Amino acid sequence: MKGVVVELYGLKNRSELNGQRGYINKVVSRDPLKYEVNVNEKQVKVCNNYLLKVYCLGFPCEYWTTERMNKNDMLMKYLNSVKNNVFYVFVESNDTHSTAFIVNYKILEMAMEKMTTEPLLRIYGMQKSQEEVKLVFDQCCANVPDDLSNPWFTDLSTSRLLNILSRYELCKDSINLKNLNFEDYAVVS
């Protein structure tokens, strides 16, 4: 179970944790089933019925990049260098660095087809090369906690994932898709 990524929901006493994502460290008790979950580097004990499964899509180190620049500059750099009718650019940042994931939307479609529960997705960058490991789609991350340190991952809600997929189905215009990708971050940031 260690490394399985979950989203917390339905908590009444600790409602500030609802919607937060983390990964399971260990089983705390079996009856009732309770886990210790790492949420933003804090350990939280949570019953199983307050956890949603999050699918994880891990990319070898050749498919993502981290640079010392701000989020908008990173986004524009990669939006201007890819085919926007094929790739979606995800960008996350912390105080000093930004990370870009350049994802073929067909991979997002494949992930969506394989999900058996509500489509919650975490895209993360693995430290290993594609010669050591291929693209990973699973319920857990390959190398906990290294692959889950910020900003090396990005989380997608159900609505955001469905929005991205539907726009690629409905629109084939590269310039329009590029502008929509940019607007996603102008609103979120």
For residue 140, the 8-state DSSP code is B
Spell out the CATH class of 5-52: mainly beta
Q: Over 80: is that where the pLDDT of 145 sits?
A: no
66-104, pLDDT tens digit by residue? 999 999 999 999 999 999 999 999 999 888 889 999 999
Average pLDDT over residues 123-143: 80
Q: Over 60: is that where the pLDDT of 150 sits?
A: no
Q: What is the dihedral of CA 12, 18, 22, 24, to 10 degrees?
A: 30
**Residue 30 to residues 11, 13, 34, 47, 51, Cα–Cα distance (Å):** 19, 22, 6, 10, 15
Q: Over 60: is that where the pLDDT of 189 sits?
A: no
Residue at 23: amino acid letter = Y
Q: Where in the chain are the domains? A: 5-52, 56-188
Q: What is the pLDDT of residue 76?
A: 95
Q: Over 90: is that where the pLDDT of 176 sits?
A: yes
